[in-house]
């Protein structure tokens, strides 16, 4: 049933906020099911150990491409129809992944999953659009909390399912969930038709201009790219280390990944603090926490209980750093203007997901050829670069 276009600024209801948060979580989880399954997937598909990181990287490359070339459509096409269409595309991609028996077909499906999953980054600015200025930080924080829970729960759920029924099963289950989600969003979301202006070609071409003209975007995207690169490096390699050094099964790795869910608490807290102009303090804290986490992992690397405990702590602190800084960054981006929200958000997410793709690839490569210590020091380098850039911020509002 079509509903009138939404132009008023009534407070977003709790029910709609929960729906958007759950939708974002379920959709973005598709990007991460393979992260703790790189071992069994690469083994079944015949990929060498040094290329295992490509399983995650290909999905993130698809996501970046979607952010640059699909998300701008949200500033041009009716949003609800676009959202449902993209979820249908994800269903197709997940079905291909579930029945893949060769590396080429699975990698193709992974690329398609990444392309379709950008619908989450249409839903988040949709939530910001529906909210009032006074509640925007809280709304973005809560919706992002759902998205981040999806990221964090994807890893343990995938490991548990794979341990019982095989790694293909999680993709089949998710395809069914996406069908149900598409039907629910089709019936509940209001219509939002952006003002007609730029053609698609001009929308995409305008991305470079927006990047040049928006210093807050450049700064926030770089911070998050460094943190997300470190985050992706950790979660791509830590399952391999847990299996190699501690002999953990997929169920054990699932329980380890479940610990990281605690980091999602940072998102709504960061959103509320950002509404009180604490954005810079949150960013500095996030960068520092990530840097210290990796330094400790690099220094204490022997096969001991202390080293294992540090891995558990890092799983929480890295997730907190990434989720907290992400909410602050997105709140800053969403305050820049309604008609460019989709493109600004697409640019922001694309830049920091490039960082994630680099982190996944480099993590897999360094772990295979240099071991855990080299990987951990590379992980420390990324937030260190963010810290150096942060020190140039001075009192600029970013």
Mean pLDDT, the chain, as a whole number?
85
Q: Residue 133: count other Cβ atoms within 10 Å of its Cβ.
A: 10
Burial level of 105, CB count in 10 A (0-12/13-18/19+)? Answer: middle
CATH superfamily of this structure's domain 14-390: MFS general substrate transporter like domains (1.20.1250.20)
Alpha helices in the chain (DSSP H): 14-28, 38-45, 54-69, 79-98, 103-116, 120-130, 136-165, 168-188, 200-213, 215-246, 250-259, 266-275, 279-299, 305-334, 341-390
Per-residue pLDDT at 196: 63
Sign of the alpha-carbon torsion through 294, 299, 305, 306: negative
Q: Is the pLDDT of residue 4 over 60?
A: no
For the stretch 160-173, pLDDT in tens is 898 889 999 999 99
- Predicted TM-score (pTM) of the model is 0.77
- Cβ atoms of residues 312 and 259 within 8 Å: yes
Residues 49-71 have pLDDT tens digits of 666 668 888 998 999 899 888 98
The residue-averaged pLDDT of 374-388 equals 95
Dihedral (C-alpha) 312, 316, 322, 325: value to the nearest 10 degrees?
A: -150
Unique residue bearing structure tokens 């992260």: 35
Backbone angles phi, psi at 359, to 5 degrees: -60, -40
pLDDT for position 337:
65
State the pLDDT at residue 231: 92
The model's pLDDT over 330-369, given as tens digits with 9 standing for 90+, comes to 788 877 766 677 678 778 888 988 998 899 889 888 998 8
The share of the chain scoring above pLDDT 70, in percent, equals 91
Across 126-135, 277-286, 295-304, least confident range: 126-135
Q: Is residue 6 very low, low, confident or very high in pLDDT (cuts 50, 70, 90)?
A: very low
Q: Indicate whether 250 pLDDT > 90.
A: no
**Other beta carbons within 10 Å of 11:** 12
Residue 3: which pLDDT band, with cuts at 50, 70 and 90?
very low
Measured at the CA of 287, the angle between CA 332 and CA 268, to 5 degrees, comes to: 50
Q: What does the pLDDT average to over 318-325?
A: 88
pLDDT of 381 above 80: yes
Report the pLDDT value the prediction gives residue 1, as an integer from 0 to 100.
41
């Amino acid at each position: 049933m079509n509903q009138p276009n939404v132009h008023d600024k009534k407070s977003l209801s709790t029910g709609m906020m929960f729906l958007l948060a759950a939708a974002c979580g379920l959709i973005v989880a598709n990007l991460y099911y393979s992260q703790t399954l790189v071992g069994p997937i690469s083994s079944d598909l015949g990929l060498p150990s040094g290329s295992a990181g490509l399983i995650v990287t290909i999905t993130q490359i698809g996501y970046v491409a979607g952010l640059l070339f699909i998300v701008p459509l949200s500033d041009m096409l009716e949003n609800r129809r676009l959202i449902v269409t993209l979820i249908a595309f994800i269903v197709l991609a997940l079905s291909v992944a579930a029945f893949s028996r060769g590396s080429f077909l699975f990698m193709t499906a992974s690329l398609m999953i990444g392309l379709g999953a950008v619908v989450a980054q249409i839903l988040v600015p949709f939530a910001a659009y529906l909210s009032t200025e006074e509640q925007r930080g809280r709304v973005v924080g809560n919706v992002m909390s759902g998205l981040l829970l999806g990221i964090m729960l994807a890893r343990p759920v995938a490991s548990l399912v794979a341990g019982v029924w095989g790694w293909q099963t999680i993709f089949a289950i998710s395809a069914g969930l996406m069908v149900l989600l598409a039907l629910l969003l089709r019936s509940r979301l209001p219509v939002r038709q952006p003002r007609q202006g730029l053609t698609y070609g001009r929308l995409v071409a305008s991305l470079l201009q927006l990047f040049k003209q928006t210093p807050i975007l450049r700064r926030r995207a770089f911070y998050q790219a460094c943190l997300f690169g470190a985050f992706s490096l950790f979660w791509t390699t830590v399952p391999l280390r847990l299996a190699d050094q501690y002999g953990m099964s997929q169920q054990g790795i699932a329980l380890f990944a479940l610990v990281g869910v605690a980091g999602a608490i940072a998102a709504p807290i960061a959103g509320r603090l950002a509404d009180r102009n604490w954005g810079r303090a949150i960013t500095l804290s996030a960068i520092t926490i990530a840097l210290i986490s990796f330094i400790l992992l690099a220094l204490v690397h022997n096969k001991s209980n202390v080293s294992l405990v540090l891995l558990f702590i890092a799983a929480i602190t890295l997730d907190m750093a990434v989720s907290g800084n992400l909410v602050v960054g997105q709140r800053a981006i969403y305050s820049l203007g309604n008609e460019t929200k989709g493109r600004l958000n697409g640019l922001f997410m694309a830049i920091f997901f490039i960082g994630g793709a680099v982190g996944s690839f480099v993590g897999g490569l360094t772990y295979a050829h240099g071991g855990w210590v080299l990987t951990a020091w590379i992980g420390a380098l990324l937030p260190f670069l963010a810290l150096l850039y942060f020190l140039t911020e001075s009192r600029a509002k970013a």
